[in-house]
Amino acid sequence: MRRNRQRKTPKKKAVLDGFRWNRAYGVLFLIGVGFSLLGLRALQVHIFERAQFKKPADRNARGAMVFATRRADVTDRHGEMLATSIKSWALVANPQKVTDPRSTAHLLAPILSIDENKLVRILRKKGTFTFVDHQVSDQAYLAVTDLKQDKRTKDLMKGLWFDPDYKRVYPKRHLAAQILGWTSTDDRGYTGLELGLDRQFDKQIMGEKTRVTALRTGLKRGPGASSIALLSTVLPILQSEPLQVETTIDAGLQEKVEQILDNTVSTNFARRGAAIVYDVRTGEILSFAHAPRIDNNHRLQAPKPHRLPWGAIDVFEPGSVLKVFTIAAALESEAVTPETMIDTHGGHLRIADAQISDLKKMKQASVRDVLRYSSNVGTVEIARSTGQERLQEILVKAGFGQPTGLPIPYEAPGLAQLSRRWDPVTFANIAFGQGIAVSAIQLVRAFAAFGNDGDMLVPHLVRTVRDRKGQVVYEARRTIAERLVSPETAHTMLDLLGTVVSSGATGRRAAIQDCHVGGKTGTGQQIVKDPETGKKQYSSEAEFASFVGFVPIEKPEIAIYVVIDRPIGEQGGGAVAAPAFAKIADTCLDLLGLRPCETAGTSVPYRTNVPPKIVVRSNTPVAEQTTAPPIPGTIVVPDVRGQSLPKAAELLGYEGLHVRIIGTGVVHEQRPGAGTVVSEGTPIQVFAALQAEGIRALE
Amino acid sequence: MTTRHAKIVTRPKALNVRPVDPVLLGSALLLMAIGLVMVYSASVHAATVKQGSGSFYLTRSLVYVVLGLATMWVTSRIPYQKIQAAVPLLILLSVLLMVLIPFFGFTAGRSRRWFNLGFVMFQPSEFAKLALVIYMAHIAHAKRQTLASLTRGYLPPLMVAGVLMVTALMQPDFGSAVIFGVLVVTMLFVAGTRLAYVALTFLIAVPTILHMILHNTMRWKRFTAFLDPSAHQHDAGFQTVNSLAAIANGGIDGIGLGAGQQKVGYIPEAQTDFIVSVIGEELGLIGIAIILILYAIVFIRGLKIARNAPDSFGQALGFGIVLLLAIQVFINFGVAYGMLPTKGLTLPLISYGGTSMIMTSIAIGILLHLSRAQDDHRGKFSRSAVENRGAVPLDLAGGTAS
C-alpha cells in the first residue's frame, strides 16, 4: 500500500499539475531569502547599531514645555472660595522661528488687542521661548488656530503655539475685592493679598511656571503642534490640587459689613469708607471691608481710588479715637484715675497761637467724662499731666509709624514723629488725634489690646496655607506683639469706653439691643488745599468720621473700626460712623454666634470646628434667582451652559457651589443640571469646549 | 483503495463538513487583534489632534475588522469553483475601476487612489490585486495548454496587468504597480510559461523601471533618500530616518505599548504604511518577531493548503494569495526598516484601511475554504474532476505547444 502511493505521487503530479510546484518553491526560496535579509536588518537596527539609528528619536525627545502650575486658591475661614484659577491658554512663541515679526505682529495685533509695535518687540526677543499673551480668549484662540492652518498665513504663524495657562477668577465678585487684590496677566500677584502671598510664600508654589523636558511633536500645525511631555511628568503638575490659602475673613460677615459700609458711605455722600472686624482674642481679621464696592472680576472698570485697600495702605489723622491712648497712658502712669477731676477751662484753651475748643463746654470734668464727651481741652490737660514721654511711649508700643506686617504690600507705616520732641502745639494736637496719621488696621490692632488684658497681638489675615497634598505649611498663631498697658489699665479703659456709649454721650448711637458695647468716636480733620490761597490747612468740612469699639464691652470678643472719608451733611464720628458700628455689631452678634451677650466668651461657635456658614448671594440680581431654594442651606443650581468658564465658575462659586471643570472654553454641559436643588458645597461638573470643538464633541 | 472508495461513497458531502484550518484562522485572527491594538496606539495622538477624538481610527478599524470577519466567513463557504466562473467579471471590474480613478477618484495627499463612497473610502487597487491573483490562477488552470505560446498564453495576462500598472502609476501608486507586475510574472512563471519569456520581460522591465525612477522627481528623491536617508532627513528621507529611529528606540523589548514617541508627528501615516515602526518602537524586536512568526504560520499553512488543493486552479489560487500577502508584508517591513524605498502599501491584517482589511479577509477566506476542500483522496477526486472537464494531461515541462 505504502509503496504503491509513493510510486503513484509523481505520476499523478505529471498528469494533473498545471501548476509547477518546483518553480513555486524557487519563488518561495527567493521570498525566504528576502525575509532572512529582513531578519538580519532587524538585528542590526534593534540591537547592533541601535544607538546610531535612534539618534533622531533622542533629539525629538529633548524639547521643553512650560507649564503654569495652578495658583493657590484663596478661601474664607469656612472654605468659601474667594479666588481661584481657571485653565486657559497662553500664546507662546519661539522668536527664533518667527521669520517675519512685523507681518506676524500685524496679523496678531487685532486678534489679541495688543499694540503691534509691542508684539514686534516680543517676537524679536532673544532666546527660544517667550510668552506673547496670557489668558487668551476663546475667540482669539480659534482665530490664531485658523491662521495657523490657513495656507496663506501658516508660515507667518511658525514658532507660535499655545500652552496651558490659568485665569484668575473671584467667584464672590466684590467680596473683599480690595483686600484680595488681583493678579497680573501671568497669574502672578499684582496687588493686595494676591501680591502679599507671593511675597510671603514661596513663589514656586504660588503659580510659578514649571519647565518640563518634553517630547517635541513632528506636527507642524494644529493644537497638538507643540510638545508632548510624558504624562507621568505633567499629570502631577496639571492635576495637583492647588495650594489652599485660608484667610481669616468670614465671607458671610464680610458681605454684611460691606453692605452696611456701602450704605453708610452712600447715604452720607462720603468719598469712601473702611471697616474692620477684628478678633480681640486671636488677632484675626474677620472682615476688612471697603466702600464703594468693586467687582474684582471687572476691577478695571472701577475708578482707581476704589480699587485700593486703603484701610491698610493709606493713613489719616484719626481724631478723637486717639484720646483713648492718651488717657490709657495717663492711667498707666497713674497720673490720673477715672474719677480725677480735670480743669477743662470752659471748653477753650489757647496754646501758643492755637485755639483748642470743645463741642460740649464744661468748666471741669472727670477723666471719664473727658472721654465720654470727647473733650479736647480735657485730653490735652490729661496729656500734659502725664508728660510727653509717656504718650510717646504708648504710641510707639501701639505700633504707630510701623507697618503691622499684614500680607498686604505697600502697607503704610503712618506719620507719627515719635522719636523727636514735640512742640506744645503738636503735643496738644497729637493728644486728641491730630498731627498724627495712622492706618485703620494699625488703629484697630492697638485698640484691641484694651480688650485683651492690655496685650497687643500680631494681626492675621491668612489663617492657614496648605500645600498640594493638604498638609498645613503655615498656620497663624496667636502672637503677642507688645504689652500696651497693664491688665488693670485695660479693664479700666473698658469701663470708660462703656460709658461713651450711653445716653447723652458722643457714642450713644453705637448702642445696640441685647448687648452692651463700648468704644470711642473720632472726627479727624483733613488737611486740604485752600482753593483761593493755595495753602494747605485743616478743613472745617472734610473729615474722617470714625468709631472704634468692642462687642461686648464687659468681655470683648471683637473690635470693630468704622471710618468714613469725608461724609457730607451729618458730621462727626458719633453721627456717621457710630450707627454703622451698631449695625455691624448687631450683625456680628448673629453671624458670629455671640448672642446672647451674657454667655459670650464661654462658647464662641465661630472659633470651634463647626462654624455657622453663611452663603453669600445677596447681591445676585433678582432675575438670576430663578427659584427660591425650598430649604435653607440648599441651593438651586444655576444654568451656566453657554457661559465662559470664568463666568460659570463665578456664578457657581457665588451660589456656594464647588466647580469641577472638564475641558476648556465654553460650557456645553453641566451635572447636575440647572434647577436641581443641591446642598451647599456640592461639586458641579462643568464640561467645556472651545466653540468649534464643542460642536464636534457633541456630534 | 477500496476502503478509500468506500469512504467517498459514504461521505459524499465531505467537502462541506470539513472544518476550516484552525491554525491559519487563529493566526489571522491574532494578527487582526494585534492590528487593532497597534492601530489605536499609532493613531491616538494624530486622531486626537486632527479628528478631535483619540479613538477615531480605532472605531473605524473595529468596523473594518468586523466586516472583514463577516466576509471571511462568507467567502470560506463559497465553493471556489464558483469564483472561477466570476473571473471575467472580477478582472473587468478591476480594470474599469482603475481606469475610472483619474476621473472620479478622491485625492488624499498627492495621490488619487480612492473612491469616496460617502461612508467609506474604497481603494480599487486593493481589489485589483486580489482580482489579479484569481485571474492568474484561472489562467494557470484553464489556459495551461496555451501558456507556452507568446501571443495566446503569455501576452494577454501581461496586457491586463499592464493596464492595471499604468493606471496605478497614474494615481500615482508605484507600490501597487510593482505588485501587479511581480504577481503576473511570478504567476505565469509558476504556471509553467517559458523561461525565455520571463527573461525577456525582465530585460524590458528593468530599464523601464530605472527610467521611471530617474524621471520622476518624487520617486527620485525617495530613491536617493533610500540610498542615504540621513542626508535627506528633513525632506524625502524624513520618513525613513524617523521610522528607523523609532524601531531602534524600541530595542529588544520595546519602550512599552502606547509609549511610542516617534508616532507623534514623526512617523507619517503611522496607522497605515508605517505601523511596523510603531510596533518596533513599542514592542521591540520581540514584538516584531512574534508578528513575523504569525505571518510565517499563515504563509506556511496557506502553502500547505494550496499544495493539497484538489485542482490546479485551487493550487494556483492558494499560492497566489500567499504570494500576494508575502510580497505586501515584505515590502511593508522592508520600507519600515529602510531596506526599500518608501511605497505606501498597507500591512495586511494589521494596518488601518478598509479596502485592504476586507480584501485580505476575502483572501484568507478563500484559503480557509480551500482548507475545507483538501484533497485527502486526491487520486479519485482530482482525477474525476479533470476527467469531467475532459482536459488532456500534458507534460508542460517539455514545452511541446510551440
pLDDT tens column, A33-52: 999 999 999 999 999 999 98
Give the whole-angstrom CA distance, residue B29 versus residue B76: 14
pLDDT in tens, A507-519: 889 988 888 899 9
- The pairing of strands A348-351 and A341-343 is unpaired
Give residue A467's pLDDT.
Answer: 77
What is the average pLDDT across A185-211? Answer: 74
* Residue B144 contacts A, CB cutoff 8 Å: yes
A49–B248 CB contact, under 8 Å: yes
Give residue A279's pLDDT.
Answer: 93
**Taking a contact as any Cβ pair under 8 Å apart, which residues of chain A between 59 and 88 contact chain B?**
60-61
What is the average pLDDT across A678-682? Answer: 76
- Cell 480594470 sits on residue: B95
Q: C-alpha A389: how far from its chain's center? A: 40
CA distances (Å), origin A346, targets A321, A358, A532, B71: 22, 8, 34, 116
Give residue A187's pLDDT.
Answer: 73
Residue A500 is classified by DSSP as H
CA distances (Å), origin A119, targets A127, A453, A465: 16, 60, 38
Q: Which of A153-157, A163-167, B112-116, B120-124 has the lowest mean pLDDT?
A: A163-167
- Counting every residue written for chain B, the total comes to 402
What is the average pLDDT across A71-99? Answer: 86
Q: Which of A282-286, A316-320, A521-525, B50-54 has the lowest mean pLDDT?
A: B50-54
A217–B45 CB contact, under 8 Å: yes
SS3 letters for chain B?
CHHHHHHHHHCCCHHHHCCCCHHHHHHHHHHHHHHHHHHHHHHHHHHHHHHCCCCHHHHHHHHHHHHHHHHHHHHCCCCHHHHHHCHHHHHHHHHHHHHHHHHHCEEECCEEEEEECCCCEECHHHHHHHHHHHHHHHHHHHCCCCCCCHHHHHHHHHHHHHHHHHHHHHCCCHHHHHHHHHHHHHHHHHHCCCHHHHHHHHHHHHHHHHHHHHCCHHHHHHHHHHHCHHHHCCCCCHHHHHHHHHHHHHCCCCCCCCCCCCCCCCCCCCCCCCHHHHHHHHHHHHHHHHHHHHHHHHHHHHHHHHHCCCCHHHHHHHHHHHHHHHHHHHHHHHHHCCCCCCCCCCCCCCCCCHHHHHHHHHHHHHHHHHHHCCCCCHHHHHHHHHHHHCCCCCCHHHCCCC
Q: Quick one: which of B145, B318, B189, B312 has its CA closest to A13?
A: B312
Residue A400 has pLDDT above 70, yes or no: yes
Q: Which of A134-138, A348-352, A472-476, A482-486 has the lowest mean pLDDT?
A: A134-138
Confidence tier at A547 by pLDDT (50, 70, 90): very high
B248–A52 CB contact, under 8 Å: yes
Confidence tier at A208 by pLDDT (50, 70, 90): low
Q: Which of A157-171, A213-227, A336-350, A479-493 has the lowest mean pLDDT?
A: A213-227
Q: Which residue of chain B has the CA closest to A51?
A: B248
Give the whole-angstrom CA distance, residue A168 versus residue A184: 9
Q: Least CB-CB distance to B192: which of A18, A41, A693?
A: A18
Confidence tier at A236 by pLDDT (50, 70, 90): low
Q: Which residue of chain A has the CA closest to B380?
A: A12
Written as one letter, the residue type at A86 is I
Confidence tier at A638 by pLDDT (50, 70, 90): confident
Is the distance from CB of A317 to CB of A522 less than 8 angstroms?
A: no
3-state secondary structure of A27: helix
- Counting every residue written for chain A, the total comes to 699
Residue A419 has pLDDT above 90, yes or no: no
Q: Residue A140 contacts by C-beta under 8 Å, 6 or more apart in sequence?
A: A91, A111, A112, A133
Give residue A659's pLDDT.
Answer: 75
Give residue A18's pLDDT.
Answer: 66
pLDDT in tens, A580-601: 999 999 999 888 887 766 544 4
Beta strands (DSSP E) in A510-595 are 518-529, 536-551, 558-565
**pTM assigned to the model:** 0.57
What is the average pLDDT across A92-105? Answer: 87
* Residue A24 contacts B, CB cutoff 8 Å: yes
Residue numbers in chain B where pLDDT is lower than 50: 1-16, 377-402
Q: Least CB-CB distance to B330: which of A38, A61, A223?
A: A38
Give residue A602's pLDDT.
Answer: 40
Q: Residue B262 contacts by C-beta under 8 Å, 6 or more apart in sequence?
A: A57, A60, B242, B243, B245, B246, B249, B277, B278, B281
Confidence tier at A65 by pLDDT (50, 70, 90): low
B252–A46 CB contact, under 8 Å: yes
Give residue A620's pLDDT.
Answer: 40
User: Could you count the other beta carbons within 10 Å of the beta carbon of residue B253?
Assistant: 12
To the nearest whole Å, the CA of B100 is away from the closest chain A CA by 30
Which grid coordinates belong to A2?
A: 505504502
Best of B147, B197, B266 to substitute, by most chain A Cβ atoms within 10 angstroms, is B266
Written as one letter, the residue type at B45 is H
Give residue B359's pLDDT.
Answer: 95
Residue A515 is classified by DSSP as B
Is the distance from CB of A665 to CB of A683 less than 8 angstroms?
A: no
Is the distance from CB of A157 to CB of A132 less than 8 angstroms?
A: no
Confidence tier at A220 by pLDDT (50, 70, 90): low
Which grid coordinates belong to B362?
A: 476575502
Element (H, E) at A698: helix A691-698
To the nearest whole Å, the CA of A241 is away from the closest chain B CA by 26
* Residue A14 contacts B, CB cutoff 8 Å: yes
To the nearest whole Å, the CA of A169 is away from the closest chain B CA by 28
Give the whole-angstrom CA distance, residue A278 versus residue A456: 12
